[in-house]
């Protein structure tokens, strides 16, 4: 029979199933080669047409070397490799229906892992035998050959192989339904399918001579399948084109091949394949095609980047899975009110209780009060306390100085919030001024007259200060040389910038003075009129509000000098909140008393605060995640500058949380110099929340860079597809901009790791760029279910606008 197929005039294939059959016969008396007549199925087989070498090794890594490897005679067009059939002999052949069902499942999983032919799952599937000729190329037939792979090729146990294949498939995000393998990595090519009109235009433009040419017919069909993502419009276009060759049209063959491409899409075929075919017949077609569709292409690209195919039927997810942490709202996908608020417990209770109560009564966001109370505490702590991040190395220390910017649109209640949080400091300073006034007046009087003989000369009295509001940088050194804790603030942050003299013109050294105010170093300042002044620690907390329009002007004036990157940002969402008419709770007086007590400490504490062993165990993993973000590729320079400072800012926030948590239990000055694990946990949540604010802020105002944009896109992809796992291979398939750029994929996924959206799956392996596989936190599908619906609606809206705008463009072109 093999010889007969080799010598037939028309190409034929010798391909008996690798199966032993029983005695059943068909109605015509011929032997029946169906599954119900299997006596023994002795092998697990896979058929590898696309990237066969790579696919084979994926399965070898799971179940070992095959018993026999057949080179079928075909050649993979994309790699030039021989197409392969791999066969693993079973130690015990599958005989009963249960064993045969297990074998089919094992073959389906192996085909999925190897990106193999999904039609070759049944044990009765015909398959080319070695020793026969492959004759699709009539002029160059090739002999199918077999290789026995030596002692490493051992018989396999079906149950053991099935368990291994199932585990590998689970890790790769593959699932089996009946005899079909659904492959995450074999979906339709990424991109927006062509609409029906353009598919039919291509079908009309591409010639199809009335003569047999199976290879070309199949190639054009695959291109229509790819251009339409396998939808009905693409099939209609393929039928229309095929009907041009009236004498050889075969509708059954069209249906069969289209179904085959649904299972095994040809990823190397694109719209350009069709356009090139049309160009061969009609020179100039490509130019007209591009002009005709220029608007559609741009809009479709945007739609493809921001929208996906219809929502997948995601499995049920629970938001109470304790094995997974709560995912952070990294991109503001949640409700505007909810995403602004820091998580409960991320602030010391003396700040949080006041923030939530005051925000509720005022109709402001809790986020505004969070930033404001921390700024006020920073003004009270100043440089009197410091934290030493390392156990033994004392060369690195951070003071409790932070800078906070409240970005709110008009009506965002910046001024009422600032007044509420700074009231304890302003009232304390007013009391000091009144108490110190007599001594200061006496000293001033003596300075104006010549002291009498024997009269003691008064030393300049200390002017106790804790706020600097209507003060220029020129006057700030006199305040800081006598006070270690100052809140330099203004309702409008632009006023502080304006107080920096020629800051906007880039003249003088006011720019540098303002920048170094963050660093908290000792400075000596020479002034033309007031002489030289030495400031032991030139450092102060900075706090203010600003409107979006003014902020954009500010960004243009300070871009590149690192001023903006020093700030923790409260990113207003523009939501109008309504306050309630309630009496202030006890939290207001508790907050007021606490801030005043901290500010009243005059002397710096000599010993630094350190992390306890338990705190370091909690803090360390968080710090590693933040550091991974600091070095990420693909972020804008402005955002990278901010991230580079977050290491120090994180410790400053940790110090502030420590002071607040340890102050009240001791009735005053904190006695302990060791940060607790509880405080470390709290501060880590606070830092992560501020980072989410920063990401949204830099996206909106400066540009966070491609890594953040990629992460947002992938987050949408996870939500709208209900994914439980994600691989680098799939990322490259669904987002063309990231294809072939593993470093870019890992940079984006690192952000999703940090936000608790995904976790690295170590079984997926890694390379120099990073992990290959990630498991998705099931809680994201519950927490952001509304976001998934929004993206689907946006996709439909964008598609409609594409059609409308494209039609308008075509009318303009036709009119011209």
Q: pTM here? A: 0.54
Q: Which CATH superfamily is domain 2-186 in?
A: RepB DNA-primase, N-terminal domain (3.30.70.1790)
Q: Where are the domains of the chain?
A: 2-186, 196-292, 326-448+460-604, 707-795
- Per-residue tokens: 132: 């026969």
What average pLDDT does this structure show over 619-638? 74
For residues 281 and 543, the model is more confident at 543
pLDDT at 263: 78
Q: How far apart are CA 554 and CA 26, in angstroms?
A: 85
pLDDT at 136: 60
**Mean residue pLDDT across the chain:** 80
Convert the pLDDT of each residue in 311-360 to its tens digit: 333 344 444 556 787 787 666 665 443 456 888 899 999 999 999 999 99
Q: How far apart are CA 491 and CA 478, in angstroms?
A: 23
Q: Which of 229-233, 286-290, 343-347, 586-590 has the lowest mean pLDDT?
A: 286-290
Place of tokens 């590998």: 168
Convert the pLDDT of each residue in 92-123 to its tens digit: 999 988 899 899 989 989 998 888 887 788 89
pLDDT at 701: 73
Q: How far apart are the first and last CA of the chain?
A: 67
Q: How far apart are CA 286 and CA 276, in angstroms?
A: 7
pLDDT at 416: 93
pLDDT exceeds cutoff 80 at 128: yes
What average pLDDT does this structure show over 778-782? 86
pLDDT at 283: 76
pLDDT at 799: 58
Instruction: Report residue 168's pLDDT band, with 50, 70 and 90 as the boundaries.
Output: confident
pLDDT exceeds cutoff 80 at 612: yes
Strand, helix or coil at 685?
Answer: helix
Each as own residue / partner, the long-range contacts of residues 331-334 (CB below 8 Å, 24 or more positions apart, any chain) are 331/695, 331/696, 331/699, 331/711, 331/712, 331/715, 332/573, 332/692, 332/696, 333/715, 333/719, 333/784, 333/787, 334/783, 334/784, 334/786, 334/787
pLDDT at 184: 32
pLDDT at 302: 41
Convert the pLDDT of each residue in 691-735 to its tens digit: 888 877 887 777 656 777 788 889 888 888 887 888 888 888 778
Q: Are 749 and 774 in contact (CB under 8 A)?
A: yes
Between the alpha carbon of residue 683 and those of residues 343, 539, 568, 753, the distances in Å are 11, 22, 14, 19
Q: Are 65 and 153 in contact (CB under 8 A)?
A: yes
Burial 232-242 (b: 16+ CB within 10 A, else e): ebbbbbbbbbb
Q: How far apart are CA 55 and CA 70, in angstroms?
A: 14
What average pLDDT does this structure show over 19-27? 86
Burial 693-711 (b: 16+ CB within 10 A, else e): bbbbbbbebbebbbbbbbb
DSSP string covering 592-621: HHHHHHHHH--SPPSSPBEE-HHHHHHHHH
Q: How far apart are CA 732 and CA 705, in angstroms?
A: 19
Instruction: Report residue 295's pLDDT band, with 50, 70 and 90 as the boundaries.
Output: very low
Q: What CATH number should be reported for the domain whose range is 707-795? A: 1.10.10
For residues 799 and 236, the model is more confident at 236
Burial 565-578 (b: 16+ CB within 10 A, else e): bbbbbbbbbeeebe
How many CA atoms, within 13 angstroms, populate the side-chain half-sphere of residue 282? 15
Convert the pLDDT of each residue in 503-521 to its tens digit: 444 455 677 788 889 998 8
Taking phi over 0 as left and psi of -120 to 50 as alpha, with beta for the rest, 25 belongs to beta
Q: Which of 19-33, 433-447, 801-815 has the lowest mean pLDDT?
A: 801-815
Instruction: Report residue 596's pLDDT band, with 50, 70 and 90 as the boundaries.
Output: very high
The percentage of residues in the chain with a pLDDT greater than 90, rounded to a whole number, is: 24
pLDDT at 178: 38
For residues 254 and 171, the model is more confident at 254
Between the alpha carbon of residue 484 and those of residues 487, 510, 599, the distances in Å are 10, 21, 9
pLDDT exceeds cutoff 50 at 177: no
Place of tokens 């399918």: 193
Instruction: Report residue 158's pLDDT band, with 50, 70 and 90 as the boundaries.
Output: very high
Pick the CATH number of 326-448+460-604 from 3.30.70, 3.40.50, 2.60.40, 1.10.287: 3.40.50
Strand, helix or coil at 407?
Answer: strand
Q: How far apart are CA 611 and CA 391, in angstroms?
A: 8
pLDDT at 322: 61
What average pLDDT does this structure show over 51-64? 85
Strand, helix or coil at 388?
Answer: coil
Instruction: Report residue 297's pLDDT band, with 50, 70 and 90 as the boundaries.
Output: very low
pLDDT exceeds cutoff 80 at 154: no
Q: How far apart are CA 313 and CA 309, in angstroms?
A: 12
pLDDT at 33: 83
Of 255, 261, 260, residue with least CA distance to 239: 255
Instruction: Report residue 293's pLDDT band, with 50, 70 and 90 as the boundaries.
Output: very low
Instruction: Report residue 815's pLDDT band, with 50, 70 and 90 as the boundaries.
Output: low
How many CA atoms, within 13 angstroms, populate the side-chain half-sphere of residue 588? 14
- Per-residue tokens: 494: 């632009």
pLDDT exceeds cutoff 50 at 298: no
């Amino acid at each position: 029979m093999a010889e007969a197929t080799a010598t037939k005039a028309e190409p034929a294939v010798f391909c008996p199933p690798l199966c032993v059959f029983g005695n059943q016969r068909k109605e015509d008396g011929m032997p029946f080669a169906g599954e119900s007549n299997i006596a023994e199925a002795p092998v697990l087989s896979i058929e590898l047409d696309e990237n066969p070498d790579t696919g084979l090794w994926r399965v070898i890594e799971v179940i070992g070397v095959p018993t026999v490897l057949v080179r079928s005679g075909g050649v993979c067009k994309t790699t030039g490799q021989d197409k392969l059939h791999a066969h693993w002999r079973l130690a015990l052949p599958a005989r009963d229906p249960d064993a045969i069902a297990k074998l089919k499942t094992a073959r389906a999983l192996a085909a999925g892992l190897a990106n193999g032919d999904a039609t070759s799952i049944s044990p009765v599937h015909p398959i080319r035998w070695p020793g026969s000729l492959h004759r699709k190329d009539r002029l160059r037939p090739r002999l199918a050959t077999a290789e026995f792979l030596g002692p490493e090729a051992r018989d396999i146990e079906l149950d053991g192989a099935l368990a291994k294949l199932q585990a590998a498939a689970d890790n790769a995000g593959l699932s089996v339904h009946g005899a079909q393998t659904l492959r995450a990595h074999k979906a339709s090519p990424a991109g927006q399918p062509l609409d029906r009109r353009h598919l039919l235009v291509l079908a009309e433009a591409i010639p199809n001579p009335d003569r047999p040419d199976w290879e070309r017919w199949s190639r054009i069909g695959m291109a229509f399948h790819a251009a339409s993502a396998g939808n009905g419009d693409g099939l209609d276009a393929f039928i229309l084109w095929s009907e041009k060759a009236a004498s050889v049209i075969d509708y059954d063959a069209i249906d069969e091949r289209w179904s085959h491409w649904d299972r095994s899409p040809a990823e190397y075929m694109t719209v350009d394949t069709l356009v090139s075919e049309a160009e061969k017949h009609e020179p100039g077609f490509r130019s007209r095609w591009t002009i005709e569709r220029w608007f559609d292409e741009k809009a479709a690209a945007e739609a493809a980047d921001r929208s996906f195919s219809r929502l997948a039927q995601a499995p049920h997810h629970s938001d109470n899975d304790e094995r997974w942490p709560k995912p952070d709202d990294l991109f503001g996908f949640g409700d505007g009110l909810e995403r602004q608020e820091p998580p409960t417990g991320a602030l010391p209770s003396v700040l949080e209780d006041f923030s939530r109560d005051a925000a509720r009564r005022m109709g402001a966001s809790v986020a505004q009060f969070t930033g404001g109370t921390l700024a006020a505490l920073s003004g009270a702590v100043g440089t009197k306390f410091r934290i030493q991040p390392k156990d033994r190395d004392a060369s690195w220390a951070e003071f409790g100085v932070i800078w906070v910017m409240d970005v709110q649109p008009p009506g965002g209640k910046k001024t009422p919030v600032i007044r509420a949080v700074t009231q304890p400091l302003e009232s304390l300073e007013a009391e000091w001024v009144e108490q110190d006034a007599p001594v200061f007046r006496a000293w001033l009087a003596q300075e104006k007259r010549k002291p009498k003989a024997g009269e003691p000369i008064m030393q300049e009295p200390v002017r106790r200060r804790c706020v600097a509001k209507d003060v220029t940088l020129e006057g700030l050194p006199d305040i800081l040389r006598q006070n270690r804790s100052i809140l330099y603030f203004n309702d409008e942050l632009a006023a502080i910038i304006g107080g920096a003299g020629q800051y906007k013109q880039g003249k003088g050294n006011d720019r540098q003075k303002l920048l170094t105010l963050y660093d908290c170093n000792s400075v000596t300042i020479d002034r033309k009129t007031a002489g030289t002044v030495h400031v032991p620690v030139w450092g102060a907390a900075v706090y203010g509000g600003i409107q979006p329009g003014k902020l954009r002007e500010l960004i243009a004036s300070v871009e590149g000098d690192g001023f903006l990157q020093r700030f923790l940002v409260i990113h207003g969402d523009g939501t109008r909140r309504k306050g309630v008419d309630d009496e202030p709770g006890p939290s207001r007086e508790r907050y007021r008393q606490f801030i005043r007590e901290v500010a009243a400490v005059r002397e710096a504490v000599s010993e630094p605060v350190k992390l306890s062993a338990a705190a370091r165990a909690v803090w360390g993993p968080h710090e590693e995640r933040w550091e991974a973000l600091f070095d990420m590729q693909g972020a804008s320079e402005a955002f990278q500058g901010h991230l580079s400072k977050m290491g120090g800012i994180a410790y400053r926030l940790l110090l502030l949380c420590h002071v607040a948590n340890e102050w009240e239990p001791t009735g005053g000055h904190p006695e302990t110099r060791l940060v607790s694990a509880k405080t470390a946990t709290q501060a880590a949540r606070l830092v992560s929340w501020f980072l989410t604010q920063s990401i949204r802020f830099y996206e909106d105002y400066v540009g966070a860079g491609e890594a953040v944009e990629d992460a947002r896109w992938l987050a949408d992809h996870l939500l709208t597809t209900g994914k439980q796992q994600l691989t680098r291979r799939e990322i490259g398939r669904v987002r063309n901009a990231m294809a072939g750029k593993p470093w870019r994929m890992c940079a984006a996924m690192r952000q999703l790791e940090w936000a608790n959206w995904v976790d690295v799956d170590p079984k997926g392996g890694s390379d120099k760029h990073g992990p290959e596989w990630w498991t998705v936190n099931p809680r994201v599908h519950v927490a952001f279910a509304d976001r998934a619906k929004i993206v689907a609606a946006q996709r439909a809206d964008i598609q409609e606008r594409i059609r409308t705008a494209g039609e308008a463009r075509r009318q303009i072109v036709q009119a011209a």
